[in-house]
């Protein structure tokens, strides 16, 4: 029997046959196992002879199966190495690399600069109610300033004021002030929507809003903070800036910030020069807005600013037209996009 079994092991030439053999002989219901069970009924002297013999047989067969299995596995691996060999000398196939959209790049640059000044990022919904987009921001109903926003309205629900696609990121000021006690220092990146379409206006565009609320905040903080930002963002040591009086319902006084620039060939250099460029809106948060959000204007003051990210990107990276930003043209993205 021993010779027969060992021969069978040697003749198994794949792992499955070998495994079947192992089960048939050594498995619980296998032949050798059955023979082992007969030992119990034997007379002690006979068992003394048969026991060691059977045990030796069992061990020999088990060892032979293990060896054969190792051999077969080795052979299989060898075969795979032969057939699946990789030609290391072939040139690799190029993997197309994704690009970061300039808007995202500029978001990140702006967030990093204000992050160093202690601002944290806050966000709000794109679909806003009338309260957050207008009323709480001191746009009374019927106020002409509402008309300047080219608002997209949703169908009104049962007499309620219609929801809108937010026309600016300022509603997030309200949401944060309603939810959080001063001191507040937030930066709000987001999409905003206005019904407008030409080379420098798209119906969806991006803003970054800033809001600082604390005790004894004044216009000097606003100016210092924004001038520092412009220097960092445009990477220039000197920036000539002016704050030109303006009107926003939610700030008083309000100012637009202009910076000097000069044209160099096709592109624009910000900082010094002979012309002014408007880059953002800003102002001291209106006392009515603070009250609307449950903050006492006699105790706290603050400033806010809002800027168009798409335009900042145009100025810094020299894109002439805003519309291709949102056309998902891979050629444009490859040209103007950033390595992540
Ligand atoms: N929300 C204003 C706009 O979209 C910008 C702004 C923000 C102005 C904060 C002042 C303060 O035009």
- Tell which residue, 114, 146, 147, has the closest CA to residue 229: 114
Could you give the angle at the alpha carbon of 29 between the alpha carbons of 27 and 34, nearest 5°?
A: 100
- Residues 304-314: what's their mean pLDDT? 94
Query: What is the pLDDT, as a whole number, of residue 84?
Result: 86
Question: Is the distance from CB of 251 to CB of 306 less than 8 angstroms?
Answer: no
- Residue 130, H or E segment: helix 130-133
Query: What is the pLDDT, as a whole number, of residue 93?
Result: 86
Ligand 1 pocket test target in 187, 281, 301 with most atoms within 8 Å of CB = 281
pLDDT digits (tens, 9 = 90+) for 119-147: 999 999 999 999 999 999 999 888 877 88
Query: What is the pLDDT, as a whole number, of residue 85?
Result: 83
252 has binding-site annotation: yes
Does residue 266 have a pLDDT over 80? no
107: pLDDT confidence band, cut at 50, 70 and 90? very high
pLDDT digits (tens, 9 = 90+) for 179-227: 999 999 999 999 999 998 888 889 999 999 999 999 999 999 999 999 9
Question: Is the distance from CB of 295 to CB of 213 less than 8 angstroms?
Answer: yes
Provide the sign of the torsion angle of the four alpha carbons 325, 328, 331, 335, taken in this order. positive
**CA atoms lying within 13 Å on the CB side of residue 31:** 10
Q: Is 74 left (phi over 0), alpha (psi -120 to 50) or beta?
A: alpha
Determine whether the shortest distance from the Cβ of 283 to ligand 1 is under 6 A. yes
Question: Is the distance from CB of 210 to CB of 246 less than 8 angstroms?
Answer: no
ipTM of the complex: 0.98
Quote the pTM value: 0.72
- Cα–Cα distance between 11 and 21 in angstroms, integer? 11
Residue where the block lists tokens 């519309």: 323
Please provide residue 338's backbone torsions phi and psi, each rounded to the nearest 5 degrees: -115, 145
306: pLDDT confidence band, cut at 50, 70 and 90? very high
**Per-residue DSSP letter, 43:** -
Determine whether the shortest distance from the Cβ of 205 to ligand 1 is under 6 A. no
Which of ligand 1's atoms lies nearest the C-alpha of 170?
Answer: 1
Query: What is the pLDDT, as a whole number, of residue 126?
Result: 97
pLDDT digits (tens, 9 = 90+) for 52-83: 988 998 899 899 999 999 999 999 899 988 88
Question: In sequence order, what are the beta bridge partners of 284?
Answer: 303
Question: Is the distance from CB of 306 to CB of 280 less than 8 angstroms?
Answer: yes
Could you give the angle at the alpha carbon of 308 between the alpha carbons of 331 and 295, nearest 5°?
A: 145
CA of 168 from ligand 1 middle (Å) equals 7
């Amino acid at each position: 029997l021993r010779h027969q079994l060992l021969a069978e092991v040697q003749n198994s030439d794949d792992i499955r046959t070998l495994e079947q053999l192992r089960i048939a002989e050594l498995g619980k219901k296998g032949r050798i196992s059955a023979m082992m069970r007969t030992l119990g009924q034997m007379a002690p002297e006979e068992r003394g002879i048969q026991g060691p013999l059977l045990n030796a047989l069992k061990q020999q067969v088990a060892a032979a199966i293990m060896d054969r299995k190792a051999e077969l596995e080795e052979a299989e691996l060898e075969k795979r190495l032969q057939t699946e060999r990789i030609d290391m000398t072939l040139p690799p196939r190029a993997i197309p690399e994704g690009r970061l959209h300039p808007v995202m790049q500029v978001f990140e640059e702006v967030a990093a600069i204000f992050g160093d000044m202690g601002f944290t990022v806050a966000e709000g919904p794109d679909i806003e109610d009338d309260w957050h987009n207008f009323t709480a921001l001191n746009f009374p109903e019927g106020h002409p300033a509402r008309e300047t926003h080219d608002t997209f309205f949703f169908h009104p629900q049962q007499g309620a004021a219609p929801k809108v696609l937010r026309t600016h990121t300022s509603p997030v000021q309200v949401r944060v002030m309603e939810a959080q006690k001063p001191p507040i220092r937030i930066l709000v990146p987001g999409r905003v929507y206005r019904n407008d379409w030409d080379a420098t206006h798209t119906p969806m565009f991006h803003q970054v809003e800033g809001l600082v609320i604390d005790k004894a905040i004044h216009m000097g903080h606003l100016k210092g903070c924004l001038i520092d930002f412009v220097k960092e963002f445009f990477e220039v040591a000197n920036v000539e800036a002016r704050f030109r009086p303006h009107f926003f319902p939610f700030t008083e006084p309000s100012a637009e910030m202009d910076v000097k620039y000069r044209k160099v060939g096709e592109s624009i250099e910000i900082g010094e020069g002979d012309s002014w460029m408007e880059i953002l809106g800003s102002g001291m948060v209106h006392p009515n807005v603070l009250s609307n959000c449950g903050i006492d204007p006699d105790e706290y003051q603050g400033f806010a600013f809002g800027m168009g990210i798409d335009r900042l990107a145009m100025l810094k990276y020299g894109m002439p037209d805003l519309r291709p930003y949102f056309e998902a043209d891979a050629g444009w993205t490859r040209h103007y996009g950033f390595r992540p």
